[in-house]
Amino acid sequence: MDQLKENFFHVRDLTKIYKMGEVEVQALRGINMELYAGELVVLLGPSGSGKSTLLNIMGGLDTATHGFVSYRGQDLTKANEKELTEYRRSHVGFVFQFYNLISSLTARENVSVVTEIANKPMVPEDALALVGLTDRLDHFPAQLSGGEQQRVAIARAISKNPSVLLCDEPTGALDSKTGILVLEALERINRELGTATAIITHNVDIAGMADRVIHLSNGRIAEVTANKVKKSASELQW
């Protein structure tokens, strides 16, 4: 990867141990990685490989047991609850498998939820236009298809102009056709806005659209590969 690009995330010896009842589960076993400005990374691995845990810690949703994670020099492992909230509020956009929209708010209002508290937000309508939902602004989640809901979630995530977009199985609940529409939206954002994007998936086919693919297995990074030729989302198939 281009070493001149700013290194957004710096992860060193990251370990996470969960206690589930009396059993200890080691989700991460010493992860070392970087995420650079503007790149699109796919974290690939089977379920239980630790990819969501890694993303959650990078997103300031969870804390590490050992190790070090920094975002643009800010040590996230030492941040308190208030600082993590501020970090999520200002820098990170999240996209989840189950969209997590507020069902009482329309598409436009779901985006406004974020723009209202962001420092330099987009206009909600513009964010929705970027994901191709200009004609669905006043629809409630219950009136939208799964793909449309996920695109609202993407619009919501990018509307604060985040430096980084963390997507946890964004196509996991969608059929392939709709999934590709969603990935196209993510690709466009990455390309046009230059937002660093990390996509978690267990779907190998999606890896084709990444700059780099980080393979996780059993809490460790098994392999990091760079795509010499990136596929566009529309070329993907599964």
Let me know: does 165 contact 18? Beta carbons within 8 Å.
no
Q: How far is the CB of 59 from other proteins (least distance, A)?
A: 8
**By CB under 8 A, is residue 59 in contact with other proteins?**
yes
Read off the tokens for 102: 């507020």
Cα Rg of the chain (Å, integer):
17
DSSP, collapsed to helix, strand or coil, labels residue 229 as coil
Helix (H/G/I), strand (E/B), else coil: 57: helix
Type of residue numbered 120: K
Among residues 9, 18, 102, 94, the alpha carbon closest in space to that of 56 is found at 94
Would you count residue 137 as binding other proteins (CB under 8 A)? no
Q: Which is nearer to other proteins, 40 or 92 (CB)?
A: 92
> Which segment (72-80, 116-124, 193-201, 220-228) binds other proteins by CB under 8 A?
116-124
Tell me the angle at which helices 146-158 and 107-115 cross, rounded to the nearest 10 degrees.
20
70: helix, strand or coil = strand
Which of 193, 206, 197, 207 shows the shortest CA–CA distance to 166? Answer: 197
**What x/- string results for residues 174 through 213 when contact with other proteins is judged by CB under 8 A?**
----------------------------------------
H or E element at residue 122: none
Nearest of 9, 10, 18, 7 to residue 219 by alpha carbon: 18
Taking a C-beta distance cutoff of 8 angstroms, is the pair 44, 227 a contact?
A: no
Contact 229, 71 (CB under 8 A): no
Among 39, 148, 168, 187, indicate the residue that binds other proteins (CB under 8 A).
168
Smallest gap, in angstroms, from Cβ of residue 94 to other proteins? 6
Interhelix angle 146-158/176-193, rounded to 10 degrees, is 20
- Kindly tell me which residue out of 56, 163, 201, 203 binds other proteins, with binding defined by CB under 8 A: 56
Decide if residue 223 touches other proteins (CB under 8 A).
no
**Near other proteins by CB under 8 A: residue from 24, 66, 74, 104:** 104
Q: How far is the CB of 4 from other proteins (least distance, A)?
A: 30
170 binding other proteins? (CB under 8 A): no
Residue 167 lies near other proteins (rule: CB under 8 A): no
Tell me the per-residue interface mask from 64 to 103 with other proteins, x by CB under 8 A, - otherwise: -----------------xx--xx-xxx-x-x-xxx-xxxx
The CB-of-81 to other proteins minimum distance in angstroms stands at 8
Shortest distance in whole angstroms from residue 231 CB to other proteins: 28
Which residues of this chain interact with other proteins, rule CB under 8 A?
Answer: 52, 56, 59, 61-62, 81-82, 85-86, 88-90, 92, 94, 96-98, 100-105, 109, 112-114, 116-118, 140-142, 156, 160, 168, 173
